[in-house]
A and B are shown apart, each in its own frame.
Chain A
Amino acid sequence: MTAPPAVRGVRAAARIAAVPDGRGGTALPLLAGDGPLALRRTRSAPGWARVTVVGAMCAPLGGDRLALDAEVAAGARLLVGSAAATVALPGADGARATYDTNLTVGRNAELHWEPEPLIAAAGSDLAVTTRIRLTAGARLVLREIQVLGRAGEAPGHLTSRLTATLDGQPLLEQELALGPGEPGWDGPAVLGGRRAVGQLLLVAPEFIDAPPNVTRLSADRGDGVALVTPLAGPAVLVTALAADGLTVRHLLDRARPPLPGAA
Chain B
Amino acid sequence: MTAATHGERRHPARAALLVLADGRFPAGGHAHSGGAEAAVKAGRITGAADLEEFCRGRLATTGLVAAALAAAAAAGVDPRALDDAADARTPSPALRATSRRLGRQLTRAARAVWPSPALEELAASRPRGAHHSVVLGLTAAAAGLDPLDAAHAAAHESVSGPATAVVRLLSLDPFHATAVLARLAPQTDRVARRAEEHALAARTGGTSALPAASAPLLDLFAEDHAAWPVRLFAS
Which A residues fall within an 8 A CB radius of B?
A: 161, 163, 169-177, 182-192, 197, 214, 216, 225, 227, 229-233, 237, 239, 241
Number of chain B residues close to chain A: CB under 8 A: 41
Interface centre among A183, A191, A227 (most CB of B within 10 A): A183
Decide: B44 and A170 in contact? CB cutoff 8 A: no
Decide: A184 and B91 in contact? CB cutoff 8 A: no
Decide: B85 and A183 in contact? CB cutoff 8 A: no
Decide: A188 and B54 in contact? CB cutoff 8 A: yes
Chain A binding site: helix, strand, loop or mixed by DSSP? strand
Report Cα–Cα, A225/B223, bound state, in Å.
13
Q: Could you count the A-B residue pairs with CB atoms below 8 Å apart for me: how many are there?
A: 122
| Cβ-defined partner of B216 (8 Å) among A161, A183, A214, A239 | A239
CB distance from A188 to the nearest CB of B (A): 4
Decide: A173 and B89 in contact? CB cutoff 8 A: yes
Report Cα–Cα, A227/B208, bound state, in Å.
25
Contact A214-B53, Cβ < 8 Å, known A173-B85, A182-B60, A188-B39: no
Decide: B91 and A237 in contact? CB cutoff 8 A: yes
Report Cα–Cα, A176/B213, bound state, in Å.
6
Decide: A214 and B88 in contact? CB cutoff 8 A: no
Report Cα–Cα, A173/B206, bound state, in Å.
13
Report Cα–Cα, A230/B210, bound state, in Å.
22
Contact A187-B57, Cβ < 8 Å, known A170-B84, A170-B207: yes
CB distance from B192 to the nearest CB of A (A): 14
Decide: B60 and A161 in contact? CB cutoff 8 A: no
Report Cα–Cα, A230/B92, bound state, in Å.
7
| Cβ-defined partner of A229 (8 Å) among B50, B91, B212 | B91
Decide: B93 and A214 in contact? CB cutoff 8 A: yes
Decide: B94 and A190 in contact? CB cutoff 8 A: no
Decide: B91 and A231 in contact? CB cutoff 8 A: yes
Decide: A241 and B87 in contact? CB cutoff 8 A: no
User: Which A residues touch B215, using CB under 8 A?
Assistant: 189-190
Decide: B44 and A174 in contact? CB cutoff 8 A: no
Decide: B85 and A170 in contact? CB cutoff 8 A: yes
User: Which A residues touch B92, using CB under 8 A?
Assistant: 214, 227, 229
* B178 at the A interface (CB under 8 A): no
| Cβ-defined partner of B223 (8 Å) among A170, A214, A233 | A214
| Cβ-defined partner of A189 (8 Å) among B57, B91, B212, B224 | B57
